[in-house]
């Protein structure tokens, strides 16, 4: 058994579980929620089986329990980035995407600090056509 292999499996289990949970609230875009969540849970089961061959059933249960208890109830930024990377692959394109997400969150935080939550929301969700009319003038 290698510690890094167990850690990798634990991380994969965590990412699949969080993806399944967040699939209920929109992460499953482009597929049915049922199919998305079922696929995540099947992947998680496969990781658990592999973990079981490395450490045995008792320790697998302990690791699984500790992993699931440690997960955030609501999506946290680093966890979201981890799930996206896990689901889409650790590629250059995904690295760009996660970089853009970090920049977006920094921008949103700056807007909230400068204008407050409510006005930041108005700025973030400002409609496109109104902006194009200003640009035409």
Residue 81 covered by a domain? no
Are both 3 and 42 inside the same structural domain? yes
Are both 2 and 63 inside the same structural domain? yes
- Cα four-point dihedral sign 117, 118, 123, 126: positive
> Cα separation of 114 and 58, whole Å?
52
Are both 61 and 11 inside the same structural domain? yes
Choose one of 71, 106, 122: the last residue of a domain: 71
- Structural domain harbouring 12: 1-71
> Cα separation of 94 and 107, whole Å?
20
Could you tell me the end-to-end alpha-carbon distance of the chain, in angstroms, rounded to an integer?
Answer: 67
Q: Would residue 89 be called left, alpha or beta, if left means φ above 0 and alpha means ψ between -120 and 50 degrees?
A: left
Burial (0-12, 13-18, 19+ Cβ within 10 Å), 20: buried
Q: What confidence score (pLDDT) does residue 37 get?
A: 85
For the chain, what is the domain count? 2
Task: Assess contact for 67 and 59: CB atoms under 8 A.
Answer: no
Are both 115 and 55 inside the same structural domain? no
- Tell me the pLDDT of the chain (137 aa) as tens digits: 577 999 999 999 999 998 888 876 665 555 677 888 889 999 999 999 999 999 999 999 999 999 999 998 888 899 899 999 998 999 999 999 999 999 999 999 999 999 999 999 999 998 876 555 444 54
pTM over 0.75: no
Q: What confidence score (pLDDT) does residue 62 get?
A: 95
Instruction: Specify the 3-state DSSP secondary structure of 70.
Output: coil
Residue 82 covered by a domain? no
Q: What confidence score (pLDDT) does residue 31 get?
A: 63
Residue 76 covered by a domain? no
> Cα separation of 125 and 102, whole Å?
18
Q: What confidence score (pLDDT) does residue 35 get?
A: 84
> Cα separation of 47 and 15, whole Å?
11
């Amino acid at each position: 058994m290698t510690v890094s292999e167990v850690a990798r499996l634990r991380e994969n289990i965590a990412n699949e579980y969080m993806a399944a949970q967040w699939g209920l609230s929109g992460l499953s875009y482009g597929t049915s929620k049922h199919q998305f969540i079922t696929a995540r849970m099947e992947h998680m089961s496969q990781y658990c089986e592999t973990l079981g061959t490395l450490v045995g059933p008792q320790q697998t249960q302990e690791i699984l329990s500790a992993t699931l208890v440690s997960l955030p109830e609501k999506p946290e930024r680093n966890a979201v980035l981890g799930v996206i990377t896990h689901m889409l692959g650790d590629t250059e394109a995904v690295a760009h995407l996660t970089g853009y997400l970090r920049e977006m969150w920094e921008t949103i935080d700056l807007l909230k600090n400068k204008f407050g939550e409510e006005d930041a929301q108005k700025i973030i969700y400002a409609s496109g056509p109104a902006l194009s009319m200003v640009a035409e003038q």
